[in-house]
Structure 1
């Protein structure tokens, strides 16, 4: 944290209130993780319907993230942050009022706009504010809001659901979102540059997606989105079906604590050793975690899987974000983050309905076995395709070469 003392007062203030807003956002969002699938089951949804409703969250992300990325570049990061956290404050109230499955799908898609807006604006603003030589370290610290929020939110949500009712959980989520919106208001947004170098004249979603610097990270994020979507949608139901004596909120809390621990050191290490090595490590950890979920029959194995999954997320997500900051001009960062993370959104969107269908046929356990195979495929893709040719890709993926697509003009 010594690096923060070298910043001027305005930058320190911006980062501090941005951190507070992020913490409240993720605590609000994650407070529903252990409770919403159970709530859907309680109102009569089948396994596949639960998957469809939970996966509808990503529809809002997929549809709106490209537009929100453009808005962040052309108007301001702060505006996009505010949109995200206001949606987060409004959506939980809807769950209390709606029990129809089709309407819950629409509401869940609306809720997805929150993360599309907030995550895009948050990462673009941090990349703008962070000095390039400390970018990995600052992003590592600032993304701690995710695991800390994921540690606090599910524990509070699970406790309130058990001790009070679902209404209390929904009110908690809405209240945390409203507090986060108050934090966003005083943030000072640096002016967004409007000059567009020739390299970034195109704003077309598909042209950005197929560009060499974006397509492989986006594909990796698709695989990770499948794993995360499966875990967040079906872990509570899988644990319940095994009759293992484990509070599902504890599962998410362990994952969050693990994610927190890694981010403190990995960001700084990536400034020295490169991003590729840590992306590879993150993918390996996700694969091991999914394999353990496939094998789990007791609370200890479930918690070890959560521990490793948290370490995987704490390694991979900040490194992909930092790598995309390295590969983008300031004037296009909102769009680059939006397009790359759209792969993650798509993975979450199809994880629920597609893998929910598998769960109906082969059960939750074998569904996690399929997910383990998909994340292993993600390792193979990144190691062989992350740079301009096979040899350079392997070297970059194992920390032996620089990122060929990183830009000197940052």
Structure 2
């Protein structure tokens, strides 16, 4: 009887831990830096949003470069460099005394995050046994999904009950552990290009981006833009409506219901196709934003967190699967990089632009507007991928019917 190769090896655990801690730190800072900027430097809403999101813009810029460099520099070297830089820049938050300096540090910190997270995603594919790659990548993706919930939760708890600098203390500790995990793993490296193989020169967009990913990536950038309103302004919104304690558990509900729904949505995706998951998920995301905009009681805030967890959490991971499935096998890495460039851009530009809108709409109006964007995204998904998926499934059913009747 053949045994399955081991999935939970030391290297797989180390890369998952490093990835989780990088993303936890990212989300902790994302939800707290806006209000920190307002309290410490009297920043406007738009500048506070920029302090939160400029980190992501730095990551967007560096991701394609890191994706192209990783084969020549080496996976482990790039990961160690990224996590080491992430740690060093974390130390620079402590002496910051001006908004301009904070913006600069956040931007460079985004470079470190982009390098580190690009390396973790690439390494994960290599340390997972090929026959268990689907299962392994599912668990690896869960480390990001959990970080998306646990990071904001920890950030809000620390900002509510401790001095502001404790956010930086916690994320510094996480970056140290991520760096140690990077050193401890053994990473298989691919052979470098031999001299008899042709070397293509000059700049080509296809060296950095996968074109088949663009439609679904544009869709997820728009959804990420809407979701960024929650990441950056939840603390301020909860303070305004006197639900700070309940807001701390918003992201816990997000995580719990996302994890509980994952086996069901994953099975639906495989058996009935991506549209059976994507359309309900986008709709639930919009419904959750409407509930969030009308919150009066703590229980309503938690219900909104549960609905948005199922909706946005599922559509984000499902869209990533679509991006990978559409790309040629030898360009799966570029497809992943392209997907996250667009996703990061949506998350990153959102708080800055929404900061200009917020004074005109208020928080409730802002979240209603984001709900409208979510519902419009249903049509965007239809044209980006849903229509093609329906036609492809129709042809498959027709072919099966013809085969059975012949």
TM-score > 0.5 by shorter chain: yes
Shift in alpha-carbon separation, 1:244–1:172, aligned structure 2, 3 A: closer
Asked if the contact 2:246–2:301 (Cα under 8 Å) also holds between the matched residues in 1, the reply is: no
Shift in alpha-carbon separation, 1:394–1:287, aligned structure 2, 3 A: farther
User: Once the two structures are superposed, what CA deviation does each residue of 1:105-157 show, in whole Å capped at 9, x if it has no partner?
Assistant: 11111222244223323333334455667544332222221243344434443
1:271 Cα shift?
Answer: 4.2
Asked if the contact 1:56–1:349 (Cα under 8 Å) also holds between the matched residues in 2, the reply is: yes
Question: Partners in 2 of 1:327 and 1:232 — Cα distance?
Answer: 30
SS at match of 1:17: helix
Are 1:105 and 2:79 an aligned pair? no
Asked if the contact 1:120–1:334 (Cα under 8 Å) also holds between the matched residues in 2, the reply is: no
Question: Partners in 2 of 1:384 and 1:57 — Cα distance?
Answer: 31
Counterpart of 1:161?
159
Counterpart of 1:285?
284
Counterpart of 1:205?
205
User: Once the two structures are superposed, what CA deviation does each residue of 1:189-233 show, in whole Å capped at 9, x if it has no partner?
Assistant: 3333667999x999733787582x211111112112202221111
1:58 to 38, 56, 77: 56
Shift in alpha-carbon separation, 1:400–1:193, aligned structure 2, 3 A: farther
Asked if the contact 1:86–1:181 (Cα under 8 Å) also holds between the matched residues in 2, the reply is: yes
Question: Partners in 2 of 1:92 and 1:224 — Cα distance?
Answer: 29
SS at match of 1:192: coil
1:359 Cα shift?
Answer: 0.5
> Which structure 2 residues correspond to residues 212-231 of structure 1 after superposition, within 5 A?
213-231=212-230
Structure number with bigger Rg: 2
Asked if the contact 1:136–1:271 (Cα under 8 Å) also holds between the matched residues in 2, the reply is: no
Which is further off, 271-280 or 358-367?
271-280
Shift in alpha-carbon separation, 1:152–1:342, aligned structure 2, 3 A: closer
1:166 Cα shift?
Answer: 1.5
Counterpart of 1:24?
21
Instruction: Give the TM-score, by structure 2 length.
Output: 0.83
1:331 Cα shift?
Answer: 4.7
Counterpart of 1:405?
none
Gaps of 5+ in 2: 397-406
Counterpart of 2:12?
15
Shift in alpha-carbon separation, 1:237–1:245, aligned structure 2, 3 A: closer
1:394 to 383, 386, 390: 390
Question: Partners in 1 of 2:31 and 2:277 — Cα distance?
Answer: 29
Counterpart of 1:86?
84
Question: Partners in 1 of 2:120 and 2:273 — Cα distance?
Answer: 22
Counterpart of 1:36?
33
SS at match of 2:43: coil
> Which structure 2 residues correspond to residues 10-409 of structure 1 after superposition, within 5 A?
12-43=9-40, 44-130=42-128, 135-192=133-190, 204-205=204-205, 211=211, 213-264=212-263, 266-267=265-266, 270-329=269-328, 331-386=330-385, 390=387, 392-395=388-391
Asked if the contact 2:216–2:384 (Cα under 8 Å) also holds between the matched residues in 1, the reply is: no
Shift in alpha-carbon separation, 1:401–1:223, aligned structure 2, 3 A: farther
Gaps of 5+ in 1: 403-410
**Number of residue-to-residue matches in the alignment:** 391
Question: Partners in 1 of 2:68 and 2:59 — Cα distance?
Answer: 14
* RMSD (Å), alpha carbons: 3.3
1:67 Cα shift?
Answer: 0.4
Instruction: Give the TM-score, by structure 1 length.
Output: 0.83
User: Once the two structures are superposed, what CA deviation does each residue of 1:158-206 show, in whole Å capped at 9, x if it has no partner?
Assistant: 33334431122211111111101111223233333667999x9997337
Question: Partners in 1 of 2:241 and 2:276 — Cα distance?
Answer: 36
Question: Partners in 2 of 1:80 and 1:283 — Cα distance?
Answer: 36
Asked if the contact 1:283–1:312 (Cα under 8 Å) also holds between the matched residues in 2, the reply is: yes
Question: Partners in 1 of 2:173 and 2:305 — Cα distance?
Answer: 28
